[in-house]
Structure 1
Amino acid sequence: MTAGTVCGALSPPPGSPCVSLTPFLTQSEVPNEVPWRVPTSPCRPFPCPDRHVCTVNSECRPGEACRPYHCTPACTMGEVSSVTVPVGAYISVHARTGGSSCGQVCVCGRGGVLKSCRFVPCVDPAPCWLGTSKIEHDTEVVMGCRVCVCHAGELTCLPRPVCHASSLLHALPPLTGLGAGAVSRGLTSEGSEGPEKLPCGCPDHWVPVCANNGRSFPSECLARCAGVRDGEWVTGECGARDGCDGVRCDAGQVCVSVPNTCLTLPATPCPQHICVPTDGGCPLEASIPACDTRGHQFESLCDLVRAGATLRHVGTCSTRCSTSGEVCGRDGRTWASECHAHANRVPVDYAGPCRGVGVPGREGCPGVVCPKPAGASSSSSSSSSSSSFTSTSEQAGCLAGVAEAAWCCGRVCGGALRLAWSSRAVEVAGVAIPHPRPLTVAALLHALAANVGVSECEVRGHLTLDGHLLVLVTPTAAHTPIPPPLVSEACMVEAERLVGVVRARSPRLMSTLPASALTLAVSAHTSSSAALVPAAHSSVALLFVLLLSMLVRGVRGEV
């Protein structure tokens, strides 16, 4: 077949009237709106100019007068590199010298050029030892119900998503201890947890403590179980005291309390404040979006302070959450409002201050009223909630969900993954930066969210009692409390795609400083037996899943 035969087949018969192209070239008055029940990927195809990055705008609902994506000026990782990073981001530029990983930490400047580069020490690719068994650097092994990876002599582990008791690594001897120089996180003895038991057999007492790195624990017992030592924690929740208490900023600066949870070890302090200059330039740590108590958005903390406004929370203002009433985050920390928690990418557990710790195998917590799932009967007042925030608890319409120890209010609807990182890599990166803000949980979640391409899914998460990071990819407020099946499926696929991106060490993700220390990722969600796709949508759902699977394979092939 030639071009002529194709043109002849498509051409109208001789004598047919001419069909004008004008109606097809004129902008229609009817918006080209995608039905809200179908997930959308506004960054595909790429809509932004060159040297920009595209991120989805989960605040924009179909039919609203808003752009469903953001275009941010960016830097390239090199003259011939196609990897771009947004302006203001900390970048990890790796190199190889004599078998050890070395490199620089740079900042993407406003002119689209990497600047303020600082050299980082080399990371020795030392092996890990389990008894007399040697595990090489960057090698992944399976041990019982855990999958582990060795990085620079440090062994980090995560629970396997599907575990069978007979699945063991026969090449390794029984776990008798770590060899000299090896460090282990997440490698606990099998059977330490069980039905109606917390880690280390700790009681379900709510006597919270706060570690130096900004991580809250329900009790001293659970903090010690996680490796926090004496002198590395204080009594009370991390959010119970003002971050500016006892802080003295330099002349011409004011202290602004900003909550943080750092990826560093518990012994390393994690500042809960930022010193903001009242005039002159704005330092990088203060050049972050801020929302005041009137709901007005500022480009930076400096602009907010100089305007005489009062900070509500760091991050962009949102209209999809409640700005009043304390809530308990699933990280075990009390937040001033739902918006405050969401701005820090923390999922909400229930309304009111934190006052209980969940136990695996037991529903609810004493004295805690959980939000009622959509479609539940309202006959029982004890199960209702007067809170105004949107519940993400699992209910009809969910295809998958995840549950975690210490949660009071059940499973969360959507996809999920667990992440582990090298504490030594975090410490090395901390040497090269003047402040630890880029090495926080919120910064890592923000980097992960930039790699989610479905605008109906949002990314939140927190550190678990086991010390790893649980990341939730859940339907946005526009699709809760009852998300359409295709949206739930899309969020689950996005979570699985993030697992593949981390395992493949995608340059776009791993070049960002907080993500550069990641060593391992596994899926965490499980299917819901109550989730049924309506028959009318079954064929469409199957086609959508197949298309998403093809897209995922294509993305993994590019990294």
Structure 2
Amino acid sequence: MLIITYTNIKQLCYGTYIFQATSDVSLSRYCDTSVENLLFSCLHRQKGGEKCCSHAETFSCSLVCQSYHTYNSTNKREEKDILFKHCHGNNEKVYRCVQRQSRSTRASNPADKIPCCDRDTTPQCRDRCRDILKTSTGDDSSIIEDVIAACGQPDVRLPLWQCFLKTPAAKRNETPLVTGLDSAKLQCCSKAKTSRCRDLCTWTYNSDFVQHSKEFYQSCSYIQPVSMLEASMHNCLTDVEEPCQLGCKGLDFCSNFNYRPTQLFRSCNSQADKAARDAVKAWEKGTISLPQMTIPVRDIRQCKPEVWKAIACALQIKPCLKKPSPLSLCMEDCIYILSECVDKNRLSGHKTVPQLCNALPSKQEDGACISLSQYLSNNDIGKDNEVTSPCHPNPCGKREVCQVRRRKCKHLEDCKPYICKEGCMLGQMSTFLVPRGVYVRIPDKVHGTQPNEQCYKACHCSHRNKIENCKQLPCFTDKHCVIGPKHRKGGGTHFTIDKTLCACHDGHMICSKNNCKSPMVGATTSIISDMPGNCPAHYKPVCAKNGKTYPNFCLAKCAGFDENDVVQGSCSSQDPCSNEACGAGQRCVARRQVCLSYIDNNCNQFECVSESMTCNPHYHDSVCDDTGEEFTNACILFSHERTLAYRGHCMSGCSNTGEVCGHNGETYPSQCAAMADRTTVDYLGECRALGNLTGRSHCSNVKCQPLKPKHCKGLIPPGGCCPVCAAELHALFDPSQVESATRVMNEGPLTVTTVLNELSNQLTIAECDIFGYLSSEGGLVILVSTIVDQPTNLQLEACNSEAQRLEHLIRTGSPLLQSYLTLTPLLVAPVRKVTIDPSHSINESPSLNPSVLILLTTFLVLIFKQRVS
């Protein structure tokens, strides 16, 4: 047995030296403390450990204590939990001693921050905050998290959080935080229109919060004249702080907002419900206090109480709007309620009701305000749980990211509808987390040298749940695009040219259709074709080096490939292992993928699997065998002597037999194989026709399957022959950002499947999922479809809402998506919603009030009697 003593520790600390010191004095003769600071720090730590561990009453406590100090884990919370487990009771002196030492190694003692707690106005927060700082044994980030849990989300305008941030958690001479205070909100600063607001925003969320936040909120807030000019920045900040989520339930006071699974809300929770109740109680005193206005009113308990309740709830629950607004009420509703209830005797000056309400948006402006009529009665449509949001409210831990589980469970007895993944915070004050293992893009304010230049770095959320291993990404500016003589488009804008959607990014114009106006090789010359580049409408597929099948060589040429870049036949018909691509002792297995970039022609369609069956269990690339059992990767599947059926997660509720043609133009061995590759089925059998590219279908000998549900009016996606009951986004992406992400991640090419998988993780509704493909004209087709066998109207509407939410996040460059490196190339994605036969459509509007219905019936009867007489 090894008994750890101070002498042993000294040997551990300077084990790489050629001598062994017998004392600190002899050591200092040979080692300069200013140079060998790590060595002497180790010695100091172990000496302190010997002091603390000497109090141990049990061997297990002594051993854990010595190990704790030996491996320099004095600030890791999980290690302290282990220490507490072994050193409580009679060994409590050991634990208290370690606590004191750990505190001295931090930039400051948590107890020094106790006065900050007194700056909050809520007694519960003050008391809980003091208890946390008095008893905390965690690091600075965990302390902040505990205070957030006790006092609510951090608001940089409140004295409590300003006090916490006066002294950074790290020492002044230490390396600053990689992510700044809040990297997610920091991305919003580039959307500011004025340089002053851009600078204030950057300083506030990067590091100099206390000095600049007050001026930022005073100078650039909604209530200032600059408000609408800075609407994009404010909308972005709101998206990060309170992201839109589908559905609302569990509200007590604002019960009329429950059971609306196809509507988006920002703050559907018990805190907002209580705030609405408190607001109504305050308004009962005779004064309505709202942003931009204070209004004297008569007793609202007698004057339209249900309307005032709906107003309070709307302001707190916050239904999502297409356009940001400082006050989300509609002008028409404002005029109606104030005309009824305003106390004209107490109105200041010569103000009138129209004057008070004129600043508000009108109902005629689509998506600019909340119409109250729909919230004046209960809604029962969503009570049957046809649409579920397993991650709302969040069932996971505070440092975990919740994702909806859509794949089959291996252990059905322990199958939850969600998955909790450990994550990384994008800043000390950030509430935005990304799951472990992903690459993120965060602003880099060090390398920017030119005005309006945007610089970013790509970092990794490591196994230590930290943002690290950062690499510089190319900087870019909002350069304009020249599209004709004296005709320019600003950087970051979206527009149409000849009915073609285009985007301007860093001076480059990216369009949804390939620029093939002049006839291409193989094009029809005798007649004018409706195909891009005047290409023929016949189906003679070729497989390009990016792994995509094009209907004919002319269309591949139009997409930028020459004769050396393609082979005859579809990609699914090629054998990627025919050239013996793998070496000795390895098995070649087809692994088809469509690459968004092909740097150095590295878009391999195969993988090499060890025949020695030495597999890496940590390499996740799911495969399904012919019995429906899923394996982590192909190597493990073959090591169990199984037969590969298809790649991806094993699918349920689909057919495993019979070839099908996907909307991406590839033939799959089964419907399940197509769905596992995130492709919707076009028709049964192998692919044999050129689908819809220009609004006209050239399909022949194709029989389309009936849609589910039967009253769904499907849409035909680009290149497809048959309609699909799904919402469609046709996304433009920037190839240069694809290449940058590919080089930084160094994990192979960025593929269509990679992007679709990440988008799938962003969906909150369990009944919807993401499918898609690269279109022949270069855009990324994204389909949001139901994944239930017999979908309902409500589920279709929910998928429509999910598609609209994604469209908003992509179009506005929201950090909720742009923080993920694989999604940063997406620029804009207009949406086409799936439609339902009007006779079967959903109506979430409230039913008529019974008294109104009686009056209406009486009125109709009177009219009828008049006409009869």
| TM-score normalised per structure 2 | 0.48
Match of 1:396 in 2: 710
- Is the CA contact 1:216–1:238 (under 8 Å) kept in the aligned structure 2? yes
Match of 2:344 in 1: none
SS of the residue corresponding to residue 317 of structure 1 reads coil
SS of the residue corresponding to residue 608 of structure 2 reads strand
1:146 aligns with 2:500: yes
The structural deviation recorded for 1:251 is: 6.0
Match of 2:449 in 1: 98
Match of 2:719 in 1: 406
Unaligned runs of 5+ in 1: 6-33, 159-184, 374-392, 545-559
Distance 1:283 1:151 in 2: 41
The partner residue of 1:542 within 845, 849, 854 is 845
Distance 1:39 1:265 in 2: 40
The structural deviation recorded for 1:317 is: 1.1
1:155 aligns with 2:509: yes
- Is the CA contact 1:401–1:527 (under 8 Å) kept in the aligned structure 2? yes
1:74 aligns with 2:403: no
- Is the CA contact 1:440–1:514 (under 8 Å) kept in the aligned structure 2? no
- Is the CA contact 2:399–2:424 (under 8 Å) kept in the aligned structure 1? yes
1:45 aligns with 2:353: no
Distance 1:122 1:340 in 2: 40
1:472 aligns with 2:783: yes
1:532 aligns with 2:836: no
Match of 2:762 in 1: 451
- Is the CA contact 1:401–1:412 (under 8 Å) kept in the aligned structure 2? yes
Match of 2:463 in 1: 110
Q: After the TM superposition, which residues 265-304 of structure 1 pair with which residues of structure 2 at under 5 Å, given as runs?
A: 268-277=601-610, 282=616, 286-304=619-637
Q: Deviations over 1:434-466 (max 9, x none)?
A: 3434x1111111111111111111210112222
- Is the CA contact 2:617–2:632 (under 8 Å) kept in the aligned structure 1? no
Q: Deviations over 1:508-547 (max 9, x none)?
A: 322222211111121123645x34336xx63xx3369xxx
Distance 1:339 1:350 in 2: 13
- Is the CA contact 2:517–2:532 (under 8 Å) kept in the aligned structure 1? no
The partner residue of 1:368 within 672, 693, 702 is 702
Distance 1:207 1:506 in 2: 41
1:128 aligns with 2:481: yes
Match of 2:438 in 1: 89
Q: Deviations over 1:271-301 (max 9, x none)?
A: 11233455667398x4222222222222334
Return closer, same or farther for 1:247/1:414 CA change in 2, 3 Å cut-off. Answer: same
Q: After the TM superposition, which residues 378-397 of structure 1 pair with which residues of structure 2 at under 5 Å, given as runs?
A: 393=707, 396-397=710-711
The structural deviation recorded for 1:320 is: 1.8
SS of the residue corresponding to residue 646 of structure 2 reads strand
Distance 1:265 1:124 in 2: 25
The one-letter amino acid paired with 1:406 is G
Return closer, same or farther for 1:323/1:116 CA change in 2, 3 Å cut-off. Answer: farther
Match of 2:807 in 1: 499
Q: Which moved more, 1:90-99 or 1:333-342?
A: 90-99
The one-letter amino acid paired with 2:484 is G
The structural deviation recorded for 1:129 is: 1.8
1:520 aligns with 2:828: yes
The partner residue of 1:226 within 554, 559, 573 is 559
Match of 2:193 in 1: none
Distance 1:69 1:81 in 2: 23
- Is the CA contact 2:478–2:507 (under 8 Å) kept in the aligned structure 1? yes
- Is the CA contact 2:725–2:834 (under 8 Å) kept in the aligned structure 1? no
- Give the RMSD, CA atoms, in angstroms: 3.4
Larger radius of gyration: 2
SS of the residue corresponding to residue 450 of structure 1 reads helix
Q: Deviations over 1:227-260 (max 9, x none)?
A: 3233222211111123333253466654332110
Distance 2:649 2:724 in 1: 24
Match of 1:421 in 2: 733
The partner residue of 1:484 within 758, 772, 792 is 792
Q: How many residues align?
A: 451
- Is the CA contact 1:212–1:267 (under 8 Å) kept in the aligned structure 2? no
Q: After the TM superposition, which residues 346-361 of structure 1 pair with which residues of structure 2 at under 5 Å, given as runs?
A: 346-359=679-692
Q: Deviations over 1:476-499 (max 9, x none)?
A: 1333xxx32111111111111100
Distance 1:266 1:543 in 2: 55
The partner residue of 1:256 within 589, 593, 608 is 589
1:307 aligns with 2:655: no
Which structure has the highest strand share of the two?
A: 1
1:339 aligns with 2:672: yes
Which structure has the highest helix share of the two?
A: 2
Return closer, same or farther for 1:527/1:322 CA change in 2, 3 Å cut-off. Answer: closer
The structural deviation recorded for 1:188 is: 6.4
Unaligned runs of 5+ in 2: 1-276, 282-381, 848-869
The one-letter amino acid paired with 2:840 is V
| TM-score normalised per structure 1 | 0.72
The structural deviation recorded for 1:267 is: 8.8
- Is the CA contact 2:421–2:436 (under 8 Å) kept in the aligned structure 1? yes
SS of the residue corresponding to residue 447 of structure 1 reads helix
- Is the CA contact 1:60–1:68 (under 8 Å) kept in the aligned structure 2? no
Give the share of equivalent positions with the same residue, in percent: 33
